[in-house]
Amino acid sequence: MTAQLSKKGEAWSARFSEPVSDLVKRYTASVFFDKRMADADIQGSLAHAEMLSHQGIISADDYAAIQRGMAQIQSEIASGQFEWLLDLEDVHLNIEKRLTELVGDAGKRLHTGRSRNDQVATDIRLYLRSAIDDIAGLLRDLRLALLDLAEQHADTILPGFTHMQVAQPITFGHHMLAYVEMFNRDAERMADCRKRVNRLPLGAAALAGTTFPIDRERVARTLGFDDVCRNSLDAVSDRDFAIEFCAAAALVMTHISRMSEELVIWMSPRVGFIDIADRFCTGSSIMPQKKNPDVPELARGKTGRVNGHLIGLLTLMKGQPLAYNKDNQEDKEPLFDTVDTLTDTLRIFADMARGITVKPDAMRAAALQGYATATDLADYLVKKGLPFRDAHEAVAHAVRACEQRGCDLTDLSLDELRAFSGLIDADVFGVLTLEGSVAARNHIGGTAPAQVRAAIAHVRNLLG
């Protein structure tokens, strides 16, 4: 990837007898997508220049000129006045050319002791580190929104499902906390991934290091890196950190997609558990009654997009020999799109969670279907001394009888219930209520309202 600027400003050196064709320029250039790393590139270059000056490799005057030039370039980029040139291939050469125009030979000296190989590896890490920090904040916002929703509905009962069949009564707050747990793990993964992102490749140069007396640890401290990459070959060719980030992002999106599926089902008039605020929905071009949950539906689709980027990066790296290869230019667009997709999705979902209206009556009515308290009746019999397998069988007979009669367990009289087990007494009706069912599961991780509130307080304490 090493190159120099010709008199025309093109990124091909005197080694070649003819310029790169326009077709190849368009095919190989990355400037129009990697220019988003401009701030990272300038940040890394300034730290490199400061180290060169401190080590006596460039003069203090050259360093001061580089600082002035970079300040102007930052201003031009921020104001939209900076001219990005296809001939210069990428963000690095575009900035270097403009710096040389502004400060002359000092700009040419900036690249001493480094290559575009370690430069781009550093830029990606700086960019991704910042993105991870933003994502951590967005994951926090989403969890806080879900905690608020869970707290509002710590007592609201709905059916819990297995195999999409009514299983046992739970609280809506407990259900929301399941997603909070998923996003807690996502936050942990992002924080752990950041540790491996936050290692400095700069100083590896093209692949073997440099003959100049550089101080890599100084640059690492200046840029806030925890450590330096310890092998120059690996430093320039490693993209594990990008793959790891995409894997963590794919898991976040998987959790978003699972939640989206439930929101779509719950909002269906056939279920009617919730409503989503109008600003997150759209209508139909032909059916005036429609209110479509477009945001969660699209999030399900975008999950496939992020998963595809992960597979793409794994495939990109699987056949590369050491060290740097041009293949690695293909790492940026999937990485950037993963960051953008995840960032936008988390931001909109935190807002959407605050726009969810819960319909407790519909949830309660559904929980009264499907014999949701059958397990509670079995547990009741076990506590009376009946072995669990026998209790399970007795309740199964009771449920079958209710199915034939078209009624619920709570509709049976005491004498009718005692026909299935003589251990049943009048206190059974407290066990068969929805409130009694959820309240009975009063342990850490259980659905009892008291445990839901305790779990909310625990997570709030973790989030600070």
Per residue in 377-388, pLDDT (tens digit) is 999 999 999 999
Judged on CB neighbours under 10 Å (0-12, 13-18, 19+), 142 is: buried
The pLDDT assigned to 4 comes to 47
Q: What is the DSSP string of 9-52?
A: S-S--TT-SSPPPHHHHHHH--HHHHGGGHHHHHHHHHHHHHHH
The pLDDT assigned to 29 comes to 86
Burial call 49-74: b when 16+ CB within 10 Å, e when fewer: bbbbbbeebbeeebbebbeebbeebb
Residue 116's closest CA among 312, 320, 328, 319? 328
The domains located in the chain, with CATH, are 22-112 (1.10.275.10), 117-153+163-214+224-360 (1.20.200.10), 366-463 (1.10.40.30)
Instruction: Give the integer Cα–Cα distance in Å for 162 and 140.
Output: 29
Is the C-alpha dihedral spanning 327, 330, 332, 335 positive or negative?
A: negative
- Whether the Cβ atoms of residue 202 and residue 140 lie closer than 8 Å to each other: no
Cα distances from 134 to residues 207, 344, 409, 441, in angstroms, run 32, 11, 51, 38
The pLDDT assigned to 450 comes to 98
The pLDDT assigned to 11 comes to 52
163 is known as an active-site residue: yes
Instruction: Give the integer Cα–Cα distance in Å for 380 and 32.
Output: 68
Query: Helix (H, G, I), strand (E, B), or coil: what is residue 260?
Result: helix
The DSSP code for 329 is: G
437 is known as an active-site residue: no
For the chain, list residues with pLDDT below 50: 1-9
Instruction: Give the integer Cα–Cα distance in Å for 90 and 102.
Output: 19
> Catalytic pick from 21, 163, 285, 413?
163
Tokens (6 digits) for 26: 């368009």
Instruction: Give the integer Cα–Cα distance in Å for 134 and 124.
Output: 15
> Catalytic pick from 59, 284, 397, 443?
284
